[in-house]
Amino acid sequence: MKDSPILIIGKNGKTGLRVEQRLQALGYATRGVSRSTAPAFDWEDRATWRAAMAGTRSAYVTFHPDLAIPSAEQTIRDFVALAAELGLQHLVLLSGRGEDGARRAELALEQGGLDWNIVRASWFMQNFSENFMIEGILNGELALPAGDIVEPFIDIDDIAEVAVATLTRPELRNRVFEVSGPRAMTFAECVAAISEATGYPVKYTQIPIEDFVDGLRVQGAPEPLLWLMRELFTVVFDGRNSSPTGGVEEALGRPATDFSEYLRKVMATGAWERSGMQQQA
């Protein structure tokens, strides 16, 4: 029912923002929540959950910091139980490819007695333009603990459209949509493509995982994030997710967005413009 709000957990996140905007454009009522909204929703404060969820019938769920962390499984299990108690009927969970912890959290949803969908995603293209990698791009060097492993990076706009499809088309319920971009690339290939698009030199440097984690620690990153980065780069990023998947086309009937189209979109936003920087020839 369009008059019963769809709950968006993580309304300020990269996918939550896009999902809410698309649902509203289609005429659906939404209730976007985060730690800063009223009512608030905080994964670490279960006293906030009930008020945020009350009166909704379906939800788009993003978990912070990541479903891979060990506590996520029980947290999702408790969340699903409360959702059932409050009368929610359908939950759509954003998950990550190849993460053992995330799979355990997915099973907690699948076994929870409600209609469900899982949108299991590759690494986001937007990490290069909206997240921790953008500073390296603007400074001319992206240093990460990743070598020649390829990843079929996905455009977050595709994730949002798949999530909206699952929330609004009952025939898609109770399915996993494993979503990726249409081709696999190394980080070095992505950086080279960004350098060509922007017109300024950007190089990719592979560094040891300990140097990467230590750098994040110096910047004040919390321990759960440090654990997650270590897990993603040393365990998950081992080639297990190198093959592109067809989840976008399964849900939407069109191919997934290519990295070249992502580059075109970012260039139109000006996100990679070096404000006040001297561009090098």
Under a CB-based contact definition with an 8 Å cutoff, are residues 81 and 91 in contact? no
Closest CA to 112 of 170, 37, 61, 36: 61
The secondary structure of residue 45, as a DSSP letter, is B
Q: What pLDDT does residue 132 have?
A: 81
Q: What pLDDT does residue 134 have?
A: 95
Q: What pLDDT does residue 275 have?
A: 75
Structure tokens at 106: 């997915």
Residues of the chain with pLDDT under 70: 1-3, 276-281
Q: What pLDDT does residue 2 have?
A: 62
Domains of the chain, earliest start first: 6-122+156-179+243-254 (3.40.50.720)
Q: What pLDDT does residue 279 have?
A: 42
Q: What pLDDT does residue 280 have?
A: 39
The Cα 141–Cα 209 span in angstroms is: 17
Predicted TM-score of the model (pTM): 0.94
**Number of separate helices (H) and strands (E) present in the chain:** 12, 8
Q: What pLDDT does residue 225 have?
A: 87
**207 to 139, 147, 196, 221: CA distances (angstroms):** 17, 9, 23, 18
| Paired sense of beta strands 58-61 and 90-96, if any | parallel
Q: What pLDDT does residue 274 have?
A: 92
Q: Sheet harboring 58-61: ordered strands across? A: 30-33, 6-9, 58-61, 90-96, 115-121, 175-179
